Chain A
Amino acid sequence: MKHKTPLLDQLESGPWPSFVSDIKREAESRTKNAKGVDYQIPVDVCDDILGVLELTYVHKRTHWKHGGIVGVFGYGGGVIGRYCDQPEMFPGVAHFHTMRVNQPGGKYYSTEYLEKICDLWERRGSGITNMHGSTGDIILLGTHTPQLEEIFYELTHDIGQDLGGSGSNLRTPSDCLGKSRCEYACYDTQALCFDLTNEYQDYLHRPAFPYKFKFKFDGCPNCCVASIARADMSFIGTWKDDIRIDQKAVAAYVGGEIKPNAGAHSGRDWGAFDIQKEVIGLCPTGCMAWDGKKLTIDNPECTRCMHCINVMPRALKIGKETGISILVGAKAPILDGAQMGSLLIPFISAEPPYTEIKELIEKIWDYWMEEGKNRERLGELIKRKGFQKLLEATELEPVAQMVKEPRTNPYIFWKEDEVEGGFTRDIQEYRKYHLR
Chain B
Amino acid sequence: MPTVEFKGKTFNVDEDGFIDDFNGWSREWVDYVKESEGISELTEEHWKVIDILQDYYKKNGIAPMVRILSKVTGFKLKYIYELFPSGPGKGACKMAGLPKPTGCV
Enumerate chain A interface residues (CB-CB to B < 8 A): 65-77, 80-81, 83, 95, 166-168, 202, 206-210, 212, 369-370, 374-375
Within 8 A of A (CB), among B23-39: 38
A166 and B105: CB pair below 8 A? yes
Choose among A69, A70, A209, A212 the residue that contacts B104 (Cβ–Cβ < 8 A): A212
Q: Which of B65, B89, B102 is most buried by chain A, counting CB atoms within 10 A of its CB?
A: B65
A208 and B77: CB pair below 8 A? yes
Known: A67-B105, A76-B87. A208 touches B67 (CB 8 A): yes
Bound-complex Cα distance A72 to B100 (A):
16
B16 and A206: CB pair below 8 A? no
B103 and A83: CB pair below 8 A? no
Bound-complex Cα distance A207 to B88 (A):
9
Q: Which residues of chain B are within 8 angstroms of A95 by Cβ–Cβ distance?
A: 15
B16 and A69: CB pair below 8 A? yes
Q: List 28 A-B contacts (CB under 8 A).
A: A68-B15, A68-B16, A69-B89, A69-B90, A69-B101, A70-B16, A70-B90, A73-B85, A74-B86, A75-B87, A76-B81, A76-B87, A76-B88, A76-B90, A83-B15, A166-B104, A167-B89, A167-B105, A168-B66, A202-B78, A206-B87, A207-B66, A207-B87, A208-B67, A208-B77, A209-B66, A369-B67, A374-B65
- Residue B11 is within 8 A (CB to CB) of chain A in the complex: no
Interface string of B65-105 (1 = CB under 8 A from A): 11100000000011001000111111000100000111111
CB distance from B34 to the nearest CB of A (A): 13
Known: A69-B16, A69-B100, A212-B104. A74 touches B89 (CB 8 A): no
Bound-complex Cα distance A115 to B66 (A):
39
Q: Which residues of chain B are within 8 angstroms of A369 by Cβ–Cβ distance?
A: 67
Mostly, the B contact residues are loop
- Interface size class on chain B is 20 to 34
Bound-complex Cα distance A86 to B101 (A):
23
B105 and A69: CB pair below 8 A? yes
Bound-complex Cα distance A95 to B100 (A):
17
CB distance from B59 to the nearest CB of A (A): 15
A71 and B103: CB pair below 8 A? no
- Closest chain B residue to A75 by CB distance? B87
B102 and A66: CB pair below 8 A? yes
Q: Which residues of chain B are within 8 angstroms of A80 by Cβ–Cβ distance?
A: 105
A73 and B101: CB pair below 8 A? no
CB distance from B63 to the nearest CB of A (A): 10
Q: Which residues of chain B are within 8 angstroms of A212 by Cβ–Cβ distance?
A: 104
Bound-complex Cα distance A81 to B89 (A):
14
Extra inter-chain contacts (6) besides given A167-B105, A206-B87, CB under 8 Å:
A71-B87, A80-B105, A81-B15, A166-B105, A207-B66, A210-B67
Q: Which residues of chain B are within 8 angstroms of A167 by Cβ–Cβ distance?
A: 89, 104-105
CB distance from B89 to the nearest CB of A (A): 6
Interface string of B31-50 (1 = CB under 8 A from A): 00000001000000000000
Choose among B62, B65, B89 the residue that contacts A76 (Cβ–Cβ < 8 A): B89
A81 and B16: CB pair below 8 A? yes
CB distance from A230 to the nearest CB of B (A): 14
Bound-complex Cα distance A375 to B62 (A):
13
Q: Which residues of chain B are within 8 angstroms of A74 by Cβ–Cβ distance?
A: 81, 85-86
Choose among A65, A69, A202, A210 the residue that contacts B18 (Cβ–Cβ < 8 A): A69
Q: Which residues of chain A are within 8 angstroms of B81 by Cβ–Cβ distance?
A: 74, 76, 206
Q: Which of B15, B67, B81, B94 is most buried by chain A, counting CB atoms within 10 A of its CB?
A: B15
Bound-complex Cα distance A224 to B15 (A):
40
Bound-complex Cα distance A167 to B67 (A):
15
CB distance from B22 to the nearest CB of A (A): 16
Bound-complex Cα distance A52 to B2 (A):
23
Bound-complex Cα distance A81 to B62 (A):
21
CB distance from A299 to the nearest CB of B (A): 44
- Closest chain B residue to A95 by CB distance? B15
Q: Which of B77, B102, B105 is most buried by chain A, counting CB atoms within 10 A of its CB?
A: B105
Q: Which residues of chain A are within 8 angstroms of B18 by Cβ–Cβ distance?
A: 69
The 8 closest A-B pairs by CB, nearest first: A76-B87, A73-B85, A69-B16, A167-B105, A73-B38, A83-B15, A69-B90, A208-B77
B87 and A67: CB pair below 8 A? no
- Closest chain B residue to A370 by CB distance? B67
Bound-complex Cα distance A370 to B102 (A):
22
A67 and B102: CB pair below 8 A? yes
Q: Which residues of chain B are within 8 angstroms of A166 by Cβ–Cβ distance?
A: 104-105
CB distance from A380 to the nearest CB of B (A): 15
Bound-complex Cα distance A73 to B87 (A):
8
Bound-complex Cα distance A75 to B86 (A):
6
Q: Which residues of chain B are within 8 angstroms of A65 by Cβ–Cβ distance?
A: 15
- Closest chain A residue to B38 by CB distance? A73
Q: Which residues of chain A are within 8 angstroms of B86 by Cβ–Cβ distance?
A: 71-76
Bound-complex Cα distance A95 to B16 (A):
10
